[in-house]
């Protein structure tokens, strides 16, 4: 069977090349994403601060239990954003243990040196009772709040999240490409069935072909994916996402996993595509192959309606969430919409052909009539083309513009809500007396100390680390305007907090409600919701009283001066009292924020560009395959009297109809997706689209569709019809 598969592949260079490209690029992308995840999982930071200790006892995580709807108890563990304090008596109790040679006091952490061969069972018990973990050997580096650990978490989160969506995209792409390739070979398969090949033999033949092409794709895509991962790692280091020299894994697990996934998808897709044609009676096989089968069956129609209903429900859910959850929901909604279009495409094509018939006949005359008839008759065969175009338009017109909306709204909210004209900053932080010194200057109306922190909140059956700010509430209303919608910042006290509208909607919190959460160092707290504010993108999701959190230096001091007051010199003099202290106009800080956001969005845009590019490649592949498979059809038309010019105009009319359908449906999907997420993130009903943005998406799709169809069709029309009538590929 393998020898026959090799011989058949040699005679189908067009479809083989298209399938090979789709599989190879899929292996490349999956390998690169997998290497990121593998790099994070394999990372073991070397201990720096705690290198002198044999054992490190520290609270780096917090755990809590909860019950699911079914009654099962679930334990969730979250890494703390700040080092957690240890009980005061823990050091003395550990120091008195047998086998402990010495203890070393670290900030928030405890170092222990042991007598060689001593048993540490009692030490482990004491640490566990205090909610701390014991780190030994190479794991001591895990107790440090290092950039390497943050990079590890970033790589795992990004690689896993986007890798999962890339897997879905690859399944969609490869299934469509392989399925189209098999469908174009109905005559070959029918002939094999007519000469007594069994359905099982046909399916094994197709699986053998898929495995052969997958092997070649692995040989091309695997090494390319490893190189791409190295390049991405270097770019991440250059832009500060990961520390310089962060080890990127060799991909010993990622590459085989990527090859396995794409190979399985290709084999299963071939089996599904060949299921019907390989199962019919041999005497009916050639008749089935002569005419494109009618539209999809009832099961396909029902599945399409289910996917459409799921997409609509997902859009409602997306409106109620925020942040990365909203972006993830948007991608899921987009996939559901595209899946619905792919399933319902035969019915969409037939309806569109009837709707467009008058227009096509008016513009293209006889060629338009032929195009209408072909669109109606080949509604199922063109389903993959429409789905590929919709996928390209949907991705290009929605996900890509999300980052632009986030950046724009974050900067706008920061600018509108910052009432202070200056900020006192210092790399090592600022003590509380810095706020008093600034307040005492003539011309200063208000000064607010701000400390950036984070809290842990429960979400569904897990937990999430949420950025927060702790402020001195006395002058906060004079230096920042959060756009309070409910409650009042005047009620901000050590036992209360303010929350953004997005986070409040996500968690279901209301003013006056008491909420249980965990501070950055793991301290449990039950706080009352004092206010709900609008400008969460610009100022974070939570605002705390500084007295609520562990006393630590301020990140900055916001300063508001009286109109016309000249206090720059006095402020600069205060700044000199602190290491590397500086006075920065808040306008410059907002400009830096815009730059930081653009830098932070680079990774998301890179990953989105990969998906958009793969979707565009899919569309190009699909349309080239569909065009090259029309050699016999075009030859027959020319033999019955259709001129080359009429045939070319017919193809142009068909392409215009398909492109119009794809742009309308894809544009609608993109608009709904983008509007739902932007509304969830910013509250705006109308999303921002950069100038010429839609023109670029629509024009790029049109150019892609025309070049990948007109050029192959032109090549086919240059071949004499008598020669072309016998060509299969």
CATH code, domain with 122: 3.30.70
How many domains, the chain? 4
Q: Does residue 203 sit within a domain?
A: yes
pLDDT band for position 527 (cuts 50, 70, 90)? very high
| pLDDT beyond 60 at 2 | yes
Q: What is the tens place of the pLDDT at every residue in 256-265?
A: 998 998 888 8
Is 513 in contact with 528 (CB distance < 8 Å)? Answer: yes
Give me the domain span that covers residue 72. 55-141
Q: What is the tens place of the pLDDT at every residue in 503-518?
A: 887 788 899 999 988 8
Helix (H, G, I), strand (E, B) or coil at 524: strand
pLDDT band for position 572 (cuts 50, 70, 90)? confident
Q: What is the tens place of the pLDDT at every residue in 608-633?
A: 778 778 877 777 877 787 777 777 78
Is 506 in contact with 650 (CB distance < 8 Å)? Answer: no
Q: What is the tens place of the pLDDT at every residue in 285-306?
A: 555 545 555 555 788 888 888 9
Whole-angstrom CA distances from 42 to 55, 224, 227, 363, 641 are: 21, 21, 19, 62, 67
E strand map for 295-394: none
User: Average pLDDT in the 302-326 region?
Assistant: 74
Query: Does residue 151 sit in the same domain as residue 15?
Result: yes
Query: Does residue 485 sit in the same domain as residue 628?
Result: no
Query: Does residue 446 sit in the same domain as residue 562?
Result: yes
- The per-residue pLDDT for 534 is 87
Least confident of 7-16, 427-436, 658-667: 7-16
The residue out of 141, 171, 204 marking a domain boundary is 141
Query: Does residue 90 sit in the same domain as residue 5?
Result: no
- The per-residue pLDDT for 296 is 58
Residues near 439 by beta carbon (within 8 Å), at least 6 away in sequence: 446, 447, 475
**∠ at Cα 413 (408, 418), nearest 5°?**
135
- The per-residue pLDDT for 199 is 76
Query: Does residue 618 sit in the same domain as residue 714?
Result: yes
Query: Does residue 338 sit in the same domain as residue 381?
Result: yes
- The per-residue pLDDT for 23 is 87
Alpha helix positions (H), 532-686: 536-539, 568-575, 586-628, 631-639, 644-682
pLDDT band for position 320 (cuts 50, 70, 90)? low
Least confident of 318-327, 489-498, 591-600: 318-327
d(CA 287, CA 197): 16
Q: Does residue 154 sit within a domain?
A: yes
Higher pLDDT, 605 or 417: 417
- The per-residue pLDDT for 563 is 87
Q: Does residue 497 sit within a domain?
A: yes
Whole-angstrom CA distances from 624 to 91, 312, 434, 621 are: 71, 32, 68, 5
The residue out of 276, 291, 306 marking a domain boundary is 291
Query: Does residue 34 sit in the same domain as residue 165?
Result: yes
Query: Does residue 477 sit in the same domain as residue 521?
Result: yes
Higher pLDDT, 201 or 728: 201
d(CA 246, CA 46): 12
Query: Does residue 554 sit in the same domain as residue 599?
Result: no
Query: Does residue 476 sit in the same domain as residue 551?
Result: yes
- 133-136 and 55-67 beta bridge pairing: antiparallel
Q: What is the tens place of the pLDDT at every residue in 341-384?
A: 888 888 888 888 888 888 888 888 888 888 888 888 777 767 77
pLDDT band for position 284 (cuts 50, 70, 90)? low
Query: Does residue 616 sit in the same domain as residue 691?
Result: yes
- The per-residue pLDDT for 121 is 75
> Exposure of 216 by Cβ count < 10 A (0-12 exposed, 13-18 middle, 19+ buried)?
middle
Q: Does residue 301 sit within a domain?
A: no
Q: Does residue 467 sit within a domain?
A: yes
**The 3-state secondary structure of 56-111, one letter per residue:** EEEEEEEEEEEECCCCCEEEEEEEEEEEECCCCCHHHHHHCCCCEEEEEEECCEEE
Q: Does residue 426 sit within a domain?
A: no
Whole-angstrom CA distances from 685 to 409, 631, 678 are: 13, 48, 7
Query: Does residue 34 sit in the same domain as residue 176?
Result: yes
Least confident of 66-80, 194-208, 549-563: 66-80
The residue out of 249, 276, 291 marking a domain boundary is 291
Q: Does residue 296 sit within a domain?
A: no
Q: Does residue 189 sit within a domain?
A: yes
d(CA 269, CA 382): 18
């Amino acid at each position: 069977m393998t020898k026959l598969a090799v011989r058949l592949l040699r005679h189908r260079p067009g479809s083989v090349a298209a399938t090979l490209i789709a599989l190879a690029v899929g292996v490349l992308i999956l390998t690169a994403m997998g290497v990121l995840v593998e790099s994070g999982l394999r990372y073991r930071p070397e201990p720096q601060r705690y290198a002198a200790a044999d054992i490190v006892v520290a609270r780096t995580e917090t755990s809590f239990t909860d019950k699911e709807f079914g009654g099962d108890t679930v334990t969730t563990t979250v890494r703390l954003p700040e080092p957690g304090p240890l009980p005061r008596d823990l050091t003395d109790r550990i120091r008195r243990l047998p086998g402990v040679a010495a203890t070393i006091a670290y900030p928030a952490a405890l170092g222990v040196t042991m007598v060689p061969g001593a048993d540490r069972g009692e030490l482990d018990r004491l640490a566990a009772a205090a909610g701390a973990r014991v780190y030994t050997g190479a794991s001591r580096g895990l107790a440090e709040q290092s950039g390497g650990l943050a990079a590890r978490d970033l790589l795992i989160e990004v690689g896993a999240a986007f890798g999962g969506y890339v897997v879905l995209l690859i399944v969609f792409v490869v299934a469509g490409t392989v399925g189209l390739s098999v469908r174009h070979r109905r005559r070959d398969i029918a002939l094999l069935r007519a000469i007594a090949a069994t359905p099982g033999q046909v399916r094994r033949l197709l699986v053998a072909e898929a495995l052969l092409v997958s092997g070649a794709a692995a040989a091309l895509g695997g090494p390319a994916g490893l190189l791409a991962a190295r390049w991405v790692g270097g770019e991440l280091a250059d832009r500060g996402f990961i520390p310089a020299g962060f080890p990127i894994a060799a991909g010993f697990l990622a590459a085989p996993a990527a090859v396995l996934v794409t190979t399985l998808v290709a084999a299963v897709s071939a089996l599904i595509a060949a299921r019907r044609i390989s199962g019919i009676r041999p005497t009916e096989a050639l008749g089935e192959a002569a005419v494109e089968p009618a539209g999809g069956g009832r099961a396909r129609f029902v599945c399409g309606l289910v996917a459409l209903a799921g997409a609509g429900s997902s859009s409602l859910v997306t409106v109620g969430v925020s942040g990365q959850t909203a972006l993830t929901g948007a991608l899921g909604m987009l996939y559901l919409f595209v899946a619905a279009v792919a399933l319902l495409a035969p019915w969409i094509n037939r309806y569109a052909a009837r709707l467009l018939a008058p227009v096509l006949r008016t513009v293209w005359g006889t060629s338009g009539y032929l195009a209408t008839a072909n669109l109606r008759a080949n509604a199922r065969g063109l389903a993959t083309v429409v789905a590929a175009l919709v996928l390209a338009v949907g991705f290009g017109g929605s996900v890509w513009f999300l980052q632009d909306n986030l950046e724009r709204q974050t900067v706008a909210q920061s600018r509108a809500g910052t009432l202070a004209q200056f900020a006192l900053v210092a790399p090592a932080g600022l003590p509380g007396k810095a706020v008093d010194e600034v307040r005492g200057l003539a011309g200063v109306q208000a000064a607010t100390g701000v400390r950036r922190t984070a809290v842990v909140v429960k979400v569904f059956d897990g937990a999430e680390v949420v950025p927060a700010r702790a402020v001195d509430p006395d002058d906060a209303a004079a230096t920042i305007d959060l756009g309070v919608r409910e409650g009042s910042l005047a009620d901000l006290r050590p036992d209360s907090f303010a929350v953004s509208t997005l986070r409040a909607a996500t968690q279901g919190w209301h003013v006056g409600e008491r909420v249980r959460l965990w501070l950055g160092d793991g301290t449990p707290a039950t706080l009352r919701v004092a206010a709900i504010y609008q400008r969460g993108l610009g100022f974070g999701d939570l605002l705390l009283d500084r007295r609520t959190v562990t006393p630590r230096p301020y990140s900055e001091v916001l300063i508001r001066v009286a109109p016309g007051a000249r206090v720059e010199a006095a402020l600069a003099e205060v700044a000199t009292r602190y290491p590397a202290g500086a006075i920065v106009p808040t306008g410059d800080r907002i400009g830096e924020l815009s730059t930081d956001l653009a830098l932070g969005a680079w990774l998301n845009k890179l990953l989105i560009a990969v998906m958009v590019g793969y979707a565009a490649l899919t569309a190009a592949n699909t349309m080239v395959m569909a065009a090259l498979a029309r050699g016999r059809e075009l030859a027959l038309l020319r033999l019955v009297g259709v001129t080359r010019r009429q045939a070319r105009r017919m193809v142009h009319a068909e392409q215009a109809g398909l492109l119009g359908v794809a742009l309308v449906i894809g544009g609608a999907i993109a608009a709904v997706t983008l509007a739902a997420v932007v509304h969830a993130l910013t509250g705006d009903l109308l999303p921002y689209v950069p100038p010429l943005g839609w023109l670029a998406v629509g024009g790029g799709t049109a150019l892609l569709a025309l070049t990948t169809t007109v050029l192959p069709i032109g090549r086919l029309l240059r071949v004499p019809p008598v020669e072309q009538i016998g060509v299969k590929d």
